[in-house]
Structure 1
Amino acid sequence: MPLIAGIAAVTIAAAVVPSTASTTPPAAAAGTVAAGDYVVRRGDSTYTIARRAGTTVQAVVAANALPAGGRRIHPGQRLVIPVPGAASATKAAAPTTSAPIRRVQAAAPASPTAARRAAATPRPAPTTSRAAQQAQVRALIEQVAAEHGVDRRLALAVGLQESGWRQDVTSHVGARGAMQVMPANARWASALAGRRLDLGDARDNVTAGVVILKQLRATAGSEDAAIGAYYQGLPSVTQRGMYRETRRYVASVKAHRSRM
């Protein structure tokens, strides 16, 4: 989930590194972090700190009101480490990304005749399969990349890394859609695209990711830096260099591209 130009993260969370599918890291056997104050050291991330403390990334982020899902921490920064029990409380309070539960009144028992009619009524076709959705998103990425003069293989690789070419994905920090764009970056992406973009729309989401990638490619100085900035944020990459997890992200994206 990238962090762009001090605006907030387009984050990224997806196929290979690091996984955002589970944000409750297992407790480490050694090098634990006690609840209370903690000073960030070189090489730390909210994931590793939460893991050593036996809590969750969400709990650490919430306890410190960290922006962009806690990706922008730096050595010397002082954090409050919540007690492990706070993790479950944070989870309980966090909004879910699943569809809201709809409560309806129970229907009266159907008569035998109605039951037979219902059985004979054709059921609607199933919704779009995951494979079909992925094919549609891939085609969108290729088309939008061509429209904006971006290497289609690079855009495809970033989309695969971010979401597995799926529009119905929202990360634990709120990054949305096929290109895992943070809502805070929608206005910036809209300015780059020259029109208002709706991240819930597949084409607009892909457009947002592609124009951001194009802007980074033009300003980051190298392709590796542009890919890393999509994940870590250009200011952070420029000032601190790529974190270890960012280097893994860059390697993964380039490996995807080599197979396109």
Structure 2
Amino acid sequence: MLIPRWCRMTAIAGTMAATALLGSLPVSAAQRHTIMVGETLTGIAAAYGVTIDAIAQANGIANVDLIYAGQQLIIPTADDDTAQPTAAPTAASEPAPTETYTIQPGDTLWSIAVARGLTVDAILAANPAISDANRIYAGHTLTLPGGAVPLSTGAAGANWSTQDVRQLIERYANEYGLDPLLVQALAWQESGWQQHVVSSSGAIGVMQVLPETGAWVSQFVVGRPLDIRGSVEDNVLAGTAYLHWLINHFGGSLELALAGYYQGPGSVARTGVLEETNRYVQNIFAIRDYIAHHGVPPR
């Protein structure tokens, strides 16, 4: 079922307005900031003198493009900023090599940065024409600073059979202590175990992982870059690890974890499980039971 999973309201505006709202606030100590309508992380980070990555990491924000009016942020001090600054070149040093990357539908600066082993701030520094990190457009070309690694290309999953994918799901489900039939049912509901499937919202592959979700999982759950677009294995790992995180996040509730996978954990916490989401969850349980009784998913 290729339906956008994140039900959300974005707070989008120019960074100048956000900076004006925050410019008089102290930046000497970690504190909380309540997001106002019209603010962006770009403006908030600039006003407090920290990086976007530092705020995102301090608050577990999966997608720097999406924040909510009324949401409270922990603002780290400059000393807590874990982003690695780019060393200034000396007179004797040669300029770092650069590459270019064409933005794809569903990309965010956060997901691009994680996939390439960079930070959002490093990409912004290499692309001074970008005035707002929350606004990038498919088809535009980015300059990527030295240290970038190529994204995988080619027909992802072209050589993977249905049985291969099933066994891969089972392996990662077992590694995370999850019911393999449940993870298989989730993946079947999402894509029919097909890596080439991309939803209208940009969710990718077997587990239908949004780029921003994959980037967050890679950094905060798995601990290494994941290529959810070009690697079937990374896609399955990302979706399985994320489901495991959601189960823990919701105190062991499979129903709420699956609802969070579809609707978004923040939305579930704020508004409860929507009727549409409840149907999605019950359908996954039905697919799991079908696989248990028949050995194959329904067709």
**TM-score (normalised: structure 2):** 0.44
Aligned CA-pair RMSD? 2.5
Determine which of 196, 202, 225 is the counterpart of 2:232: 202
Structure 1: how far apart are the matches of 2:250 and 2:290? 24
CA gap of 1:128–1:209, structure 2 versus 1, over 3 A, is: closer
Tell me the secondary structure at the aligned position of residue 259 of structure 1.
helix
Alignment correspondent of 2:179 = 151
Alignment correspondent of 2:6 = 3
Alignment correspondent of 2:241 = 211
1:169 aligns with 2:224: no
Q: Is the 8 A contact 1:133 1:166 kept in 2?
A: no
Structure 1: how far apart are the matches of 2:171 and 2:271? 35
Alignment of 1:130-145 (within 5 A): 133-145=161-173
Q: Is the 8 A contact 2:205 2:232 kept in 1?
A: yes
Alignment of 1:245-260 (within 5 A): 245-260=276-291
Q: How many residues matched?
A: 143
Q: Between the two proteins, what is the percent identity of the paired residues?
A: 39
Please tell me the residue identity of whatever aligns with 2:166.
Answer: R
Please tell me the residue identity of whatever aligns with 2:5.
Answer: P
Alignment correspondent of 1:118 = none
Tell me the secondary structure at the aligned position of residue 231 of structure 1.
helix
1:95 to partner: Cα distance: 7.2
Q: Is the 8 A contact 1:6 1:235 kept in 2?
A: no
Determine which of 259, 271, 274 is the counterpart of 1:240: 271
1:258 to partner: Cα distance: 1.1
Please tell me the residue identity of whatever aligns with 1:186.
Answer: G
Q: Is the 8 A contact 1:178 1:205 kept in 2?
A: yes
Q: Is the 8 A contact 2:61 2:216 kept in 1?
A: no
Q: Which has the larger radius of gyration?
A: 1
Please list every run of 5 or more consecutive structure 1 residues that lacks an aligned counterpart in the other structure. Answer: 9-93, 97-126
Structure with higher helix content: 1
CA gap of 1:7–1:225, structure 2 versus 1, over 3 A, is: same
